[in-house]
Chains A and B, each alone.
Chain A
Amino acid sequence: MISTTCPYCGVGCGVRVSGGGGRPVEVQGDPSHPANGGKLCVKGAALAETLDMEGRLLHPELDGQRVSWDTALAAAAAGLQRIIDEDGPEAVAFYASGQLLTEDYYVANKLMKGYIGSANIDTNSRLCMSSAVAGHKRAFGEDIVPVSYADLEAADLVVLVGANSAWCHPVVFQRIMRAKQARPEMQLVVIDPRHTASCEQADKHLPLNPGSDVWLFNGLFRYLWQDGRVAHDFVTAHTADVDAARAQAASASLETVAQETGLKVDDLTDFYRLFAACDKVVTLFSQGVNQSSAGTDKVNSIINCHLLSGRIGKPGAGPFSITGQPNAMGGREVGGLANQLAAHMALEDPQHRERVQRFWGSPVMAQEPGLAAVALFRAVAAKKVRAIWIMATNPVVSLPDADLVKQALADCELVIVSDCQQHTDTTAHADILFPAATWGEKSGTVTNSERVISRSRAFLPLPGEAKPDWWIICAVAKRLGFSEAFNFDAPWQIFREHARLSAFENKGGSARAFNLEGISELDAAAYEQLAPTRWPVRHANAVELFSDGRFFHADGRARFIATPPRAPVNAVDADYPLVLNTGRVRDQWHTMTRTGKSPKLADHRAEPFVNVHPHDAMRQGLREGELARLASRYGDLVARVVFNGGVREGQVFVPIHWSDQNASDARVGALVNPEVDPISGQPESKHTPVRIMPLTVGWHGFVLTRVPLSTEQLTYWVKVSGKQFWRYEIAGRNLPKDLSCWARDWLGAQAESDWLEYMDQEGGSYRAVLLENDQVQAGLFSARRADELPQRGWLSSLMTLDAINEEQRRGLLAGHSLGEEVDAGPTICSCFGVGRNTICAAIRERGLTEPGQITACLKAGGNCGSCVPELKRLIAQVQAEEQ
C-alpha cells in the first residue's frame, strides 16, 4: 500500500494504491489526507484504468528515430547551445506544466533563469491561474491563497464564481454539500453564465453576462459601502488605497450593474444582501474569473469586497482561487512562470535576483520577464524563439489560436518534447522526444489549492527507458556544462534545495510568506515519510496567514485595486454572433492523454459537443444530435449539437478535451481568440465570438474495433476508449458506392471471414460485424441520421466477451439484445411463428381445451394445420400437469 496524490485537478486528493508488480492495481481515497479524507471523484477512482502502456513513449527519439538517451540528450544540448550561441539565451524557451512535480519544475526554472540566463520559461499554468497569481500579488504583495478547504465548510455563504466545481473539483464540492447538509442554513450561490451542474444544488444562480464579473463585484463593493458593512478598523489598520476602489465602484449602481450583467435588480439585491449579512463568506473562483482579458481585475474586484468587509484572515472567510492542475501551486512556488523568479521572489526586484543568484551560485541571471505562453508561441512563430522544450503539456491543443501554435511548432528549428505519451498533437512536431515517467512512476511533491504539499510516490517501475523529468532536465543541464549545479541523484535533494531557498534570508517568514524552513533539512528517509504539510512551514509557532492583518507588500498592508470594468476584447458581431465559452466535462481531464484511456470515463461524454440554446439552434438550422461546424476568426471545429447544456441564448459551450489524437476536428483551442489579460498574460478562453452552422454529412455511424483504424476517408471521427476496444463515432459526406467492399476492406475482413451484414441502400443504412471464433472483432453501423443508429451500450458490452452466444449473435446487427423477453420456446406453429412455451402458457392461463381455441388466441394452427396434433398433445400435457 502506497500513499500518493491524485494527478488530476488542484484539489490534490490523497490516494492509496495497492497492487502493482504483476497484481492488479487498485486505487482508493486516502482517509488520512486532509484534502479528501478518503473520498475520490470518478476520475480519481478510475485511475487504475489509465495505467496501461498503450501509446506510451518508452524510448528517446531523434527526428522520429529511436536513439539512445546519450544521443538524444547530446542533440538537445547541442541544439540549445548552438542557438544560444548564435542568438543569445532569449532565443530558447521552456514551456512547462502544472503536471510537473515541484522538483522537476524547480530544476527547469533554475536552468533557464540562472544558467541559460533567460526568463523564457512559462507553463500551462498561465492558461489556468495566472490572473489569480497577479491578483494576489497586487492585493497581498505575494501570491498567497489565504483560505483552506476547511474554511469552505465553516462558511455561512459560499459564492462560486466562474467555477463548475461539481464537475471540475468534485471532492471539494462534495465537502461543501456535506457541510450544507449538516447546516442547511449555509448558502451556496453560483455566479456563472451557464447553468452548470453546480447550480443544481445551489440556493441561487446568477447567470450573468459573460465577462461582466467586475461590474457585479464593484456593485457589491458599492452596496457593502452604502449598507455600512465596511470593516473600518481592519481597512484603516491593514489596507491601503480603499478610496481609489470606492471611487471606481461609485459608478456601479444597482441599475447599471443590472444592465451590464443582465441580472435582475431583485436578484442582485438578494445576493448583495446575503453577502452583507454573512460574516463568514468564501468566494471560490476558478477559470471563469481567471481566463479573461480582465482576469486580474476580476480577481481584485473579488478580493476588494473581502478586504472591505474584513472577510479575510479568519476562519470561514476569504477569496479562494481553486486551481485546475495537480501542481500549478508548486510551479508558482518554484517561480516557474516567465514573470516570476523563484520561491516567491520577484524577477523585477534586483535584490531578489541577486539573492537567488547568490544562493544558486549561478553564472548568470535572467534580468527581465520572459515571454508568457501566448506571446511565447507567437515568438516561436516569428522565429525569435528558435528552440523550445515542451514538458508534460500539449499546447497544440490547449493554447488559444492553436492552429498558429501548431504551425509555429511545425516551422520551429528545434522542438524538444518530454512526454509520457508517444502520440499527442504536440509530440507530432518534436525533433527530439524524451520519454518521461508519469504518475505512479515518478516521485516528488505537489502543492494543492489550499497550499498543502503532498508526496507523489512511485509504485510502478519505470517502463522502457522512461526517466523522471528532473533527471532529463539535469542531464541536459550537465551537457550544457552545469554539472555541479544540477548534480542531483534524487528528488529529495532537489526538494531540500528548494526548501532552503524558500527560507534563504527569510527567517521566520520575515520577508516572504512562502517559507519551508521547517522541512528544509529533510534527508531521504524523512522526505519519503513526509506527510501532507501546509505551508508556510516555519520553525516557530506562527499564526495563520493574514490572521494578524499582516500582508506582504513592503508596508505590510493589503491593497485595494480600482477595477474599471471592461468588456471582453472581442465583441460579437453579425459575422460571429455567438459567444464561445469553454471548459471541462465531468469525466475528462485536459487533453485526455490519461483520462482518455479509461472506458468508464468515456461513457459520460464520449464525443466532443457544443451546447447550443435551442433558439440559436433554430435560427441556424441545427438539430440536436447532428453535427455542427463552429468557426471563429481563428479556426474552426466540428462537434455534435447538444441542447440543455445550460447555456443562454447567444452563447455556446465546447469542452476543451478533444485533440487530433481522438477526434477529426475538435480542438477548441483553434477557435479561442489569443487575447490576454494585460497584467497576467492569461488568455481569454471563455469569450470568443463565433458562428455556428450545420455540418452537412450524408451519413452517420459508429465503429467498434479491437485495432485502431485508419480515419483518412472520414469527414468526421471521434475515437473513444472501451475495454479492450475502441469505438469510433463517424460521419461522412457520401457513402462509398460498394459499401460491402469498403467495409470489409476497412475493418480487415477476408473473403472467408465470419461476416454479418445488413444493408438498406435506399434507406441509407448499413451494418456489418466481423467475428472470429465467435468473438466480435469489429462492427460498423451507419445510417442517414444519427438518431437512426442503435445504442452503443449493448454492442460495447459484447466487445468485452471472449465469445458471444447465438442469442447475442442474433441481436448483433439489430444492435440490441433480442433476448430477455419471455422465451417463446421451440417453434410449434411455423406458419405464425408461435412457440411451445407461448402455447403452453396460453393453455394454462386461459384454460384452453381445444386446438381451435389456441388458434383463436394465438393463430397457431390456423393456417396449414400441421401442428394441430401437437397442439392437442400440448393441451393433454398441460392438463395432465395441472391435475
Chain B
Amino acid sequence: MSKVEPKTSGNWQRICKLDELHVNVGACAKVAGFQVALFRVADNEIYAIGNYDPNSGANVLSRGLVGDIDGRLVVASPIYKQHFDLKTGECIEEPVASVKSWQVRVSDGWVEVGHAGEIAARKPRLVVVGNGMAAMRVVEEVLRVAPDLYDITVFGAEAHGNYNRIQLSPVLAGEKQVDEIMLNTPDWYARHGIALHLGDEVVKIDRSRRLVRAASGYETRYDRLLLATGSNPLIIPVPGKDLPGVVSFRDLRDVDAMLAAAKTHKRAVVIGGGLLGLEAANGLLRQGMDVTVVHLQGTLMERQLDPRAGDMLKASLEGHGVNFLMSAQTEAILGDARVTGVRFKDGTEVAADLVVMAVGIRPNIALAQSAGLRCERGVIVDDTLQTFDPRIYAVGECVQHRDATYGLVAPLWEQANVCAAHLAQMGFARYAGSVTSTRLKVTGIDLFSAGDFSGGEGSEDLVLHDHARKIYKRLVLKDQKIVGVVLFGDVSDGPWYFELMQQGVNVTALRQTILFGKAGEEKRKQAS
C-alpha cells in the first residue's frame, strides 16, 4: 500500500499525490476512522469504497483484483470473491453485504476523499432472540461498554415488554402489579435505537446466510446472534393434561390465566412442591382459592431443603392454609370440558377447578437444534457463552454450560456479564459456572438454600434450631469450607454464607460463631 500524507481541508481529506496511486492497483487509506479502499482505473478515474468485506469480516477489499462485469467496474474480494461495484459499493452476489462508496476528487494533483456528516460505516448487526431477563441484561451491558458497536434487533415471543420473571409470584399473590415488574419500556428500546419485534417468535436461523426469520416472515441478517430462548415448563404426560383449566406457571399469560380462574373458581391443585409450585400455591391462596399441593416426594423442595427444613416449610404453609398431598403420583387429570379433579396412582382423587403444573422446566432448545447447533439438555456453550457456531452466543435458562443448566436468576447475571464482554469485543472474562442459592418468595416464610447438604463422607453439620420461633439453620462443611446452607425462619445471613461458599473460604476460624451470623461474628471480633 502506498504511503499517504494525510492533509485535510474542509470535508475533504487529502490522501496522496495522484501519481502515487498505480493504475488498477488498490490502496488503503484511513478516513475519519474508517478504512477506505482507493482504486485508480484510468489516469484520472479514481474510486473509493469501504475496505471492510462483510462476507469475510476482514479489511481486505483494497487488495482485490479490479475488473468489470457487464460493464460495471468491480473489485473482487480476495477472500470469497464476491464482487463490489466500485461506483456504488454494491455487492453483486450478496446485495445485503454491500459496502459504502466514498466521494473522491483530484485537486492540485492531490487525491482527496470526502467525508461529509453522512459518513457512517454500516455497523455490525446484533440480533437477539428472546426478550427475557438474560437477553436484556446482555444488551444493557453491551450498550454500557460499547454503545455504538452494534445495530441491535430484539425478537420477543411474548407480546409484553421485558419484565422481571421472578416477580411473577408477587404478581400472582397480588402483592405487585404487572407494571411494577416491567424492566425496560418501549421508549427505552427506541432511545437506544433497538429494533424491537414483540410477539414475533424467531422460527428459523439460516447460519450460512446469517439470517433469522420470524414467524411473521420478517427476515434480518446478523453478524452476531444471541440466543436467549429460556425454558419451557415441563408438562407431565398424563391424560387430561391439555384440558382447559390446566396451566403452567411460566409467564404473564399463565399468571393471567390463574388470576382469571381464581375469580370464578374455588379449588386449585398445584402439582409440584418445588419452589415454583409453592409460590403458585401461595399466590392462589392469596387470591382466595382452596389450594392443595401435590408432591411426588415426601419432602417439599427436596432438592433445596433437607427433611427438617422441608417439614418446617410444610408446617408453615399449612399454617397459611395450604393443603398437602405428599408422596402422591398423578395418574390423570379429570374432566371433560374443563378440569374437575386429579386422580392418583393409589386411586384416590381430589377435586379441582384449576390445575397448575409446576414440576420443573426444560431448556428451550428447539430453535438452536433446528439450526444445527450442538445441544444436549440445553444449548452447549463454552466459557465465553459461545455456541458451536462462533457467531452465535447463548445465555440463560436455555444453555448448558459444563453440564449444568440453571433456572435461577443469579447465574443468568453472571453469564450475561461474560457474554456481553465478548460481544463488546472486550472479551477476556470467563464464565466458570455458578453456585446457586434459592429463596422462596412467599410472604411470611423466610427460606434460603444453597449448595449440597446431602451429607456423606467427610461432611460436617452445624445446626441451630429455635423450635418456638421456627428458626432452623444448617451449614454443611467439607474440608472446612461451606458446601451447603439451609436457612429457615431467619435468612438474614444467607448472603454472607453464600459469599463464603462461593469464595471457598476456609471457615475454621469462624466455626465457633459462624452460625450465629455475621453480626455475631463482628461483635465477637470487636469484643476480642
> Which residues of A come within 8 Å of B, CB atoms?
754-763, 765, 771, 783, 788, 791, 809-811, 813-814, 816-818, 820-821, 827, 830-833, 859, 863-866, 869
The answer to whether B517 touches A818 (Cβ under 8 A) is yes
The answer to whether A755 touches B467 (Cβ under 8 A) is yes
The answer to whether A757 touches B522 (Cβ under 8 A) is no
> Is B252 located at the chain interface by the 8 A CB criterion?
no
Kindly supply a per-residue 1/0 record for chain B positions 468-498, scoring 1 wherever the CB is within 8 Å of any chain A CB and 0 otherwise. 1100000001000000000000111111100
> Is B167 located at the chain interface by the 8 A CB criterion?
yes
The answer to whether A765 touches B512 (Cβ under 8 A) is yes
Cβ distance A699 to chain B, nearest Cβ, rounded Å: 13
Kindly supply a per-residue 1/0 record for chain B positions 173-203, scoring 1 wherever the CB is within 8 Å of any chain A CB and 0 otherwise. 0000000110100000000000000000000
Taking a contact as CB atoms closer than 8 A, the residue among B180, B466, B527 that contacts A756 in the complex is: B466
Given pairs A757-B467, A759-B462, 4 additional interface contacts (CB within 8 A)? A759-B461, A783-B512, A811-B520, A821-B522
List chain A residues, Cβ under 8 A from B520. 811, 814, 816, 818
Q: Which residue of A lies closest to B459 (CB)?
A: A762
Task: Give A859 to B469 CA distance when docked, in angstroms.
Answer: 29
Taking a contact as CB atoms closer than 8 A, the residue among B413, B462, B465, B468 that contacts A863 in the complex is: B413
B398-452 interface with A by 8 A CB criterion:
409-410, 413, 439
Query: 3 nearest interchain CB pairs?
Result: A814-B516, A762-B460, A814-B520
> Is B511 located at the chain interface by the 8 A CB criterion?
yes
List chain B residues, Cβ under 8 A from A865. 164, 183
The answer to whether B512 touches A763 (Cβ under 8 A) is yes
> Is B260 located at the chain interface by the 8 A CB criterion?
no
> Is B523 located at the chain interface by the 8 A CB criterion?
yes
> Is B524 located at the chain interface by the 8 A CB criterion?
yes
The answer to whether A761 touches B515 (Cβ under 8 A) is no
- Interface majority SS (helix, strand, loop, mixed), chain A: loop
A-B contact pairs, 25 of them (CB 8 A): A756-B464, A756-B466, A757-B463, A757-B465, A758-B463, A759-B461, A759-B463, A760-B460, A760-B461, A761-B461, A763-B460, A783-B512, A788-B512, A811-B516, A814-B513, A814-B516, A814-B520, A816-B527, A818-B516, A818-B517, A818-B520, A827-B492, A830-B439, A833-B495, A866-B170
List chain A residues, Cβ under 8 A from B513. 814
The answer to whether B462 touches A763 (Cβ under 8 A) is yes
Known A-B contacts A757-B464, A818-B517, A821-B523; the reply to A864 vs B469 at CB < 8 A is no
Task: Give A831 to B413 CA distance when docked, in angstroms.
Answer: 14
Taking a contact as CB atoms closer than 8 A, the residue among B512, B515, B517, B523 that contacts A817 in the complex is: B523
> Is B367 located at the chain interface by the 8 A CB criterion?
no
Task: Give A760 to B463 CA distance when docked, in angstroms.
Answer: 6
Known A-B contacts A765-B512, A833-B493, A869-B180; the reply to A863 vs B464 at CB < 8 A is no
List chain A residues, Cβ under 8 A from B326. none
List chain A residues, Cβ under 8 A from B410. 863
Among B164, B439, B523, the most chain A Cβ lie within 10 Å of the Cβ of B523
The answer to whether B495 touches A831 (Cβ under 8 A) is yes
B36-57 interface with A by 8 A CB criterion:
none
Task: Give A742 to B181 CA distance when docked, in angstroms.
Answer: 52
List chain A residues, Cβ under 8 A from B522. 821
Known A-B contacts A811-B520, A833-B494; the reply to A864 vs B463 at CB < 8 A is no
> Is B519 located at the chain interface by the 8 A CB criterion?
yes
Taking a contact as CB atoms closer than 8 A, the residue among A783, A816, A830, A869 that contacts B523 in the complex is: A816
Known A-B contacts A816-B524, A818-B519; the reply to A756 vs B465 at CB < 8 A is yes
The answer to whether B491 touches A830 (Cβ under 8 A) is yes
Taking a contact as CB atoms closer than 8 A, the residue among A755, A760, A821, A864 that contacts B462 in the complex is: A760
Task: Give A859 to B410 CA distance when docked, in angstroms.
Answer: 13
Q: Which residue of A lies closest to B439 (CB)?
A: A830
List chain B residues, Cβ under 8 A from A859. 495
Known A-B contacts A761-B461, A833-B496; the reply to A864 vs B527 at CB < 8 A is no
> Which residues of B come within 8 Å of A, CB atoms?
164, 166-167, 170, 180-181, 183, 409-410, 413, 439, 460-469, 477, 490-496, 511-513, 515-517, 519-520, 522-524, 527
The answer to whether A813 touches B439 (Cβ under 8 A) is no
List chain B residues, Cβ under 8 A from A864. 164, 166-167, 409
Task: Give A245 to B370 CA distance when docked, in angstroms.
Answer: 119
Taking a contact as CB atoms closer than 8 A, the residue among B170, B469, B511 that contacts A760 in the complex is: B511
Q: Which residue of A lies closest to B467 (CB)?
A: A755
List chain A residues, Cβ under 8 A from B524. 816
List chain A residues, Cβ under 8 A from B490. 810
List chain B residues, Cβ under 8 A from A762. 460-461, 477
Q: Which residue of B lies closest to A788 (CB)?
A: B512
List chain A residues, Cβ under 8 A from B467. 754-757
Q: Which residue of B lies closest to A767 (CB)?
A: B464
Task: Give A814 to B463 CA distance when docked, in angstroms.
Answer: 12
Cβ distance B61 to chain A, nearest Cβ, rounded Å: 43
The answer to whether A863 touches B496 (Cβ under 8 A) is no
List chain A residues, Cβ under 8 A from B469. 809
Q: Which residue of B lies closest to A791 (CB)?
A: B527
Known A-B contacts A755-B467, A760-B461; the reply to A866 vs B167 at CB < 8 A is yes
Task: Give A762 to B463 CA distance when docked, in angstroms.
Answer: 11
Task: Give A510 to B527 CA distance when docked, in angstroms.
Answer: 68
Task: Give A434 to B22 CA distance when docked, in angstroms.
Answer: 132
List chain A residues, Cβ under 8 A from B462. 758-760, 763
List chain A residues, Cβ under 8 A from B519. 818, 821
The answer to whether A813 touches B516 (Cβ under 8 A) is yes
List chain B residues, Cβ under 8 A from A866. 164, 166-167, 170, 181
Known A-B contacts A761-B460, A818-B523; the reply to A754 vs B468 at CB < 8 A is yes
The answer to whether A833 touches B466 (Cβ under 8 A) is no
Among A758, A814, A832, the most chain B Cβ lie within 10 Å of the Cβ of A814
List chain B residues, Cβ under 8 A from A820. 523
Task: Give A866 to B439 CA distance when docked, in angstroms.
Answer: 13
Cβ distance B481 to chain A, nearest Cβ, rounded Å: 14
List chain B residues, Cβ under 8 A from A760. 460-463, 511, 515
Task: Give A817 to B516 CA distance when docked, in angstroms.
Answer: 11
Task: Give A28 to B291 CA distance when docked, in angstroms.
Answer: 71
List chain B residues, Cβ under 8 A from A821. 519, 522-523
List chain A residues, Cβ under 8 A from B468. 754-756, 771
Task: Give A92 to B492 CA distance when docked, in angstroms.
Answer: 72
The answer to whether B464 touches A813 (Cβ under 8 A) is yes
Q: Which residue of A lies closest to B446 (CB)?
A: A830
List chain A residues, Cβ under 8 A from B461. 759-762
Task: Give A833 to B462 CA distance when docked, in angstroms.
Answer: 21
Task: Give A759 to B465 CA distance when docked, in angstroms.
Answer: 9
The answer to whether A758 touches B515 (Cβ under 8 A) is yes
Cβ distance A834 to chain B, nearest Cβ, rounded Å: 9
Cβ distance B45 to chain A, nearest Cβ, rounded Å: 56
List chain A residues, Cβ under 8 A from B180. 869
The answer to whether A763 touches B511 (Cβ under 8 A) is yes
List chain A residues, Cβ under 8 A from B181. 866
List chain A residues, Cβ under 8 A from B512. 763, 765, 783, 788
Taking a contact as CB atoms closer than 8 A, the residue among A783, A809, A818, A831 that contacts B439 in the complex is: A831
Cβ distance A858 to chain B, nearest Cβ, rounded Å: 11
Task: Give A10 to B516 CA distance when docked, in angstroms.
Answer: 50
Cβ distance B184 to chain A, nearest Cβ, rounded Å: 12
Q: Which residue of B lies closest to A758 (CB)?
A: B464
List chain B residues, Cβ under 8 A from A827. 492
List chain A residues, Cβ under 8 A from B166. 864, 866
Task: Give A783 to B512 CA distance when docked, in angstroms.
Answer: 9
Among A783, A788, A821, A864, the most chain B Cβ lie within 10 Å of the Cβ of A864
Q: Which residue of B lies closest to A785 (CB)?
A: B512
Task: Give A859 to B494 CA distance when docked, in angstroms.
Answer: 14
Task: Give A833 to B183 CA distance when docked, in angstroms.
Answer: 22
List chain B residues, Cβ under 8 A from A756. 464-468
Task: Give A650 to B170 CA distance when docked, in angstroms.
Answer: 73
Cβ distance A874 to chain B, nearest Cβ, rounded Å: 15
Task: Give A146 to B464 CA distance when docked, in angstroms.
Answer: 67
List chain B residues, Cβ under 8 A from A811. 516, 520
Q: Which residue of B lies closest to A760 (CB)?
A: B462
Cβ distance B325 to chain A, nearest Cβ, rounded Å: 28
Q: Which residue of B lies closest to A740 (CB)?
A: B465
